[in-house]
Amino acid sequence: MPAAMPPIPSFSAANVKRRQLLAGSAAAVLAPWLMPREGLAAPAATPVAMRKLASRLRIVIPANAGGGWDQTGRTLGAALLASGAVDAVDYENMGGKGGTIGLAHYVEQYRAQPDTLLIGGMVMVGAIALQKPAVTLAQVQPLARLTSDYVVVAVPSDSPLRNAKDLTSALRADPHSVTMAGGSAGGVDHMFAGLLIRAAKGAPDQLNYLPYPGGNDVVQALRAGKAQVGLSGYSEFSNAVSAGQLRVIGISSRRGIFGLPTFREQGVQVDMANWRAVFTGQDVPAARVEELARALNQATAQDRWQTALRDNRWDAAWQTGKDFRDFLEIEQSTASVMTYLLKLKS
């Protein structure tokens, strides 16, 4: 017998209208993940002068060096320095299990630290839904959503898989013969791989997926022949693609971007958006939370941050306050439902 479907958390009356995205059929449940999020506006610069945020700030990055979260955290630190909000930034990397190891470490060490931030995003939300760890995002406070990103699916340059239809045909014929490497179990890469096998009319529980803690590891798995297909962000694959080592099959955005073909444009009706955000400790006072959010707003208006958006092909997706908290609640519920529907396994 299949496992019971996970319960969807109850919602307050004030937010019932938005929560209807999760009601009804499976298609309605999947809708928030499949809606286009391209083109969200960047935050406006805050011209009002503010006191220095901290002499020294720490940013905890729950992933290995070189991946999307690492790039986000270090770019954000540089932008905070450029804005004058801080004098120095320390970075602490701790990868593994979709960020849940780093999350638990952050909660244990820094839950009351006003000068320590945590990077996270949809990958962590998915990992929590899959793994059901003791420490979840309920133990931190959301500060701001920063960027939206998309899953790039790439293969070695000599792969016989030339396009999205080749990939879905291979998945339909023999799912076990197509090893797919991506980010941590339960994350956006894993979920998008599940959507691809469903689109191919294959059984999601037959998905042959290798989880890795960072995009660099996915590139190495493809180059070493450990996987036939890789899923990661554009920035993680860009150097290998430019060097002719990898070839892009498609991107998970709804509309074509970066000159890359979408899966929908190739007749495979799937899409998905990723996002990255910043959190602070559960015990940090509300006044400090507001200060941190203002400093992040100023940092993301800096040239250093805006250049990174262009270079890494990130979409600005600024959101804070109640809007971000409501968005996060929906994403957590949707991740639980998708993990069940796609029969994802850790």
Model confidence pLDDT, tens digit, residues 247-306 = 999 999 988 888 899 999 999 999 998 899 999 999 999 999 999 999 999 999 999 999
Q: Is the pLDDT of residue 41 over 80?
A: no
CATH superfamily, region 150-266: Periplasmic binding protein-like II (3.40.190.10)
Torsion of CA 90, 127, 98, 185, to 10 degrees: -170
Give percent of the chain with pLDDT exceeding 90. Answer: 67
| Alpha-carbon torsion (23, 266, 191, 323), positive or negative | negative
* pLDDT digit string, tens, across residues 135-183: 999 999 999 999 988 999 999 999 999 999 999 999 999 998 999 999 8
Cα separation, 227 vs 342, whole angstroms:
21
CB-side exposure of 162: number of CA atoms within 13 Å?
0
pLDDT at residue 36, rounded to an integer: 38
Q: Which residues is 148 bridged to in the sheet? A: 275, 315
Cα separation, 312 vs 34, whole angstroms:
22
Question: Whose structure tokens read 């797919």?
Answer: 180
Question: Using only C-alpha atoms, what is the Rg of the chain?
Answer: 20
Cα separation, 298 vs 74, whole angstroms:
16
- Confidence band of 50 (pLDDT split at 50, 70, 90): low
- Residue 42's CB is within 10 A of a number of other CB atoms, namely 16
User: What are the structure tokens assigned to 280, written together?
Assistant: 């602070």
Q: Is the pLDDT of residue 200 over 90?
A: yes
DSSP code for 116: E
Q: What are the structural domain ranges in the chain?
A: 54-148+275-341, 150-266
Cα separation, 221 vs 166, whole angstroms:
21
Answer whether 253's CB lies under 8 Å from 273's CB.
yes
54-148+275-341 and 150-266 have identical folds: yes
* pLDDT digit string, tens, across residues 8-31: 343 343 343 444 433 333 343 444
What fold is seen in the domain 54-148+275-341? Answer: D-Maltodextrin-Binding Protein; domain 2 (3.40.190)
User: What are the structure tokens assigned to 124, written together?
Assistant: 């962590």
